[in-house]
Structure 1
Amino acid sequence: MRKSLPVLLLLLILLNLSGCQSRKETAAAFKEFQNEITGIEVYATEKPGEEPRQIINLVDRQLTQRFLNLLGPLPKTEPPPEDWKGKKDYLAFKYNKNGEIAVSKRYPFWHQDNAPGYLELEDGWHQVAAEFYTKLAPLAEYTEASSDIDPQDAAFLKQYGWTIFYKIKTYTGRLPDKFIHESGEYPVSLYYAYNNELSRDVGLDITPYLGKTVTVNLYKIEEPLPPFMEPRRDANRAVIVKDGIKIIGAWLDAGRHDAFACSLKGRRLEEITGKSWGEWVDQYIDHQNPQEKLISQMSPEKVIETYYEAINNNDPRTAHATETRRRLVSYLFRNMDNNRLYNYSYATNDADEIGNITRARIIRIQPINDPATAGRDDVKKFMVEVDLNVRRVVTYDSGRRILFFTLRQETPTTGWRIDTIGTGP
């Protein structure tokens, strides 16, 4: 038995090494396989001398062909300038070789924003169209990007001048039971209420389908969002909601941090409804909710006190009930995985924010004058000194902090709510 142990150990080592070997690259030159390419890989290095790390792995053949068209004719060019300030990454290509998928070597690929890139092939440097990597880069996030596009969706969007580039993801889920938002509730109802206004601008309405299970297709589109979305025009996405094969909702979307964009006609909520945000959202608030009534009667200072009392009592719902609806909907998109329509709960952000606070004690609340809001009766600003204990250091440690609160009367009936909290006035 003892004699067999070294043999077993040697066998295990060999098996382990075989599983850890680096990827095998073929020796074929680009010109030999360029008409057989089926996929694209991108490798990046954070620091000089590091082993390149794969950040994009495109395997969809039809979508690959679209990117190859963007790659352009690859004209010969001089090498990149010696003082290159852009990225120095690598491209590799999957291709069909005798019925099997082979992978090329990694070709140096230098690129920068809004400018042509450089690709070093066997015969020297070639120029790459700027649009190629601008449109390829999102695939680092959109790992399930697919050419599986519903023809009905494509035709519907095309009526309004929008062309699907690829599908990001398909979801199946249940619509909220109602559009009305309750005090402190996570604002999914407001997400759909808002986007239903955009849908109604093109003759659709999800209202009859509330509470039903639907299919949602999230697409990347080719055209940039309208000019008023600058500088986020390239965050261009379209959402199609379907009940079976019937399209019941559709709108344009801008993804992470603030997904609310516009209707397929390029019109914003205010233009469609003729109402400001506050006037519009007021109709979707349950004003009879006891907590809603209670907070609506509070002074601005009392709202701030209630916010920290709730945090101190581990009561996040009440803490969020002291915030404006505009602030609440920001939690839908803040730090969102871009493969989603919205974050699924407050927990995504609360874990590093109010959920990280174990104790909160207000030391003082002091009104401050801001020339930018002088003469306005619906906005008040305060300097708040608070003593906090935190579970772990995220952006600050335990101890006293000076914070600046903006409170706003978002609607005529909801009283004061916290609109912003910052570290500077």
Structure 2
Amino acid sequence: MTCKEIQELMWCGEITQQVQEHLQTCERCRAEQATLQELGLAVEAVPIPKPSRSLLPSTADIQAAITAHKRRRFTKWLSAGAVAACLALALTQIPSLLETGKNQSDVSDPSLLPQTTPKQAAPVEQIQTMLGTYHYTLKSQEPSIVKTTLPASFAGSAQGTQENLYYAYANVLSQEVNLDMTTHLGHEVDVYSLPLNETFAGGRIDGYQDCEVVAVFDQNRLVGIWLRTVGGSAMAAIDNKLFGEITNQLWGEWAKEQKLETRSADTVSWTPDQVITKYLDANNRGDHATMGTLLSLNYQFYLMTNGAGSTTSTPIVTGNYYGPMIEPNAKYQVKFVEDIPTGTVDATALFLVRNRQPYAMKTYEVDGGPNAMFFYMTQESKGGPWQIDNISTGP
């Protein structure tokens, strides 16, 4: 099929298997699909005006209809029948009303009335409905489902683990489509993961193609949903908006406002090489909690999400929040290498995934072990503490 035929099918809403296969290889048609999605969102945003006048009949019309009804034939017979019915009802009810000890509250107790519960759609059906609003389709109907417990709070944890950071971030993306996990914190939930036919965030980010939807259900009720790259750490709302576009805040500002940082006051006075030394000392003790607190939230987020997929026991990789394995008790030497220019604010989509612009960054080399290691240090904001932003090993 030609691109013109494919695009005609897309505009008619016929996303067939052939159309999906064509979109995977044709950049022009993917751009047309993105235009269609933007148009759909714009149309949905147009307010529907209310009627300029009441559509109910006038009071005079209603009164005339009642009067006409009263003048119908056989009115006297109907009236007589109504009187007889009332007398019969009274005669049958008087004995029960006179019955001693009768608790009239039993008659009016709503709990004794038949209860009807609206039927709730199955989780996968709820996901499909939500995705369809934003022109996404499921590649598979078979979800990966795991049970997990949401953190008790989005606020930071002093224990070094930062699951709250992940869910606070994911909740920003969920709130974009009018869902919210806030009132479900601390609850045991079911997390569904399903692959999508479309590319991540509408193909806005080069190199990020394969995409999954992650949905959180509490008692079969959809409370959170977002997109993520398969095996990667990029996330987006299902309307394709990225974190920076939703919050309009830099990562450091948002983390501070959400009280995600839990640094003690004395950490502000530590120099970068002191932070590295404390990290190595904690590694010698096997103190992973302390190691985690010395990492930047950005690095912790990367460790929690990089490699996460449908096979992990939770939506995040919880086994490592403290960095790579380092041989303990070696005689390490910490040497400053260089300052890293932070540059100007990047406007690309990949930058907006986290919308991050540190105040200062430095590189240190650590020798003495089997391999040289490079510690990338960051100061998220002016006057803030130095933190480990990444650790890599050399040959």
TM-score by length of structure 2 reads: 0.60
- Contact kept, 8 Å, 2:298 with 2:389, in 1: the verdict is yes
Counterpart amino acid of residue 378 in structure 1: Y
The 5-angstrom pairing of residues 94-105 of structure 1 reads: none
Q: Provide closer, same or farther for how the CA distance between residues 412 and 379 of structure 1 changes in structure 2, counting only shifts above 3 A.
A: closer
Q: Provide closer, same or farther for how the CA distance between residues 422 and 203 of structure 1 changes in structure 2, counting only shifts above 3 A.
A: same
- Which of these residues, 220, 223, 243, is aligned with residue 248 of structure 1? 223
Q: Does residue 1:361 correspond to 2:361, yes or no?
A: no
Aligned to 1:16: none
| 2-structure distance, mates of 1:249, 1:364 | 44
Aligned to 1:303: 275
- DSSP-derived class of the 1:165 partner: coil
Q: Provide closer, same or farther for how the CA distance between residues 201 and 369 of structure 1 changes in structure 2, counting only shifts above 3 A.
A: closer
Which structure shows the bigger proportion of residues in strand conformation?
Answer: 1
Q: Does residue 1:151 correspond to 2:125, yes or no?
A: yes
- DSSP-derived class of the 2:331 partner: strand
Q: Does residue 1:416 correspond to 2:386, yes or no?
A: yes
Q: Does residue 1:275 correspond to 2:249, yes or no?
A: yes
- Contact kept, 8 Å, 2:334 with 2:366, in 1: the verdict is yes
Flag the structure with more relative contact order, 1 or 2, with Cα contacts below 8 A and sequence separation at least 6.
2
Q: Does residue 1:326 correspond to 2:298, yes or no?
A: yes
- DSSP-derived class of the 1:358 partner: coil
Aligned to 1:232: 208
Q: Provide closer, same or farther for how the CA distance between residues 311 and 230 of structure 1 changes in structure 2, counting only shifts above 3 A.
A: same
- Which of these residues, 352, 359, 380, is aligned with residue 361 of structure 2? 380
The 5-angstrom pairing of residues 16-415 of structure 1 reads: 150-166=124-140, 167-183=142-158, 185-225=160-200, 226-233=202-209, 235-258=210-233, 260-285=234-259, 289=262, 292-340=264-312, 341-346=315-320, 353-354=324-325, 357-370=327-340, 378-388=359-369, 398=370, 401-412=371-382, 414-415=384-385
- DSSP-derived class of the 2:368 partner: strand
Which structure shows the bigger proportion of residues in helix conformation?
Answer: 2
* 1:99-146 deviation digits (Å, cap 9, x = unpaired): xxxxxxxxxxxxxx979xxxxxxxxxxxxxxxxxxxxxxxxxxxxxxx
- DSSP-derived class of the 1:195 partner: helix
- DSSP-derived class of the 1:232 partner: coil
Q: Provide closer, same or farther for how the CA distance between residues 332 and 305 of structure 1 changes in structure 2, counting only shifts above 3 A.
A: same
| 1-structure distance, mates of 2:342, 2:168 | 31
Q: Which has the larger radius of gyration?
A: 2
- Contact kept, 8 Å, 2:284 with 2:328, in 1: the verdict is yes
| 2-structure distance, mates of 1:164, 1:238 | 9
Q: For structure 1, which runs of at least 5 residues remain unmatched after alignment? A: 1-68, 73-112, 116-147, 389-397
RMSD, aligned CA:
3.2
Cα distance, 1:152 vs. partner? 2.1
| 2-structure distance, mates of 1:252, 1:191 | 13
- DSSP-derived class of the 2:165 partner: helix
- Identity level (%): 22
Q: Give the total of aligned pairs.
A: 265
- DSSP-derived class of the 1:176 partner: coil
* 1:223-261 deviation digits (Å, cap 9, x = unpaired): 11223332112x211112122232111111113131x32
- DSSP-derived class of the 2:230 partner: coil
More off after superposition, 214-223 vs 333-342: 333-342
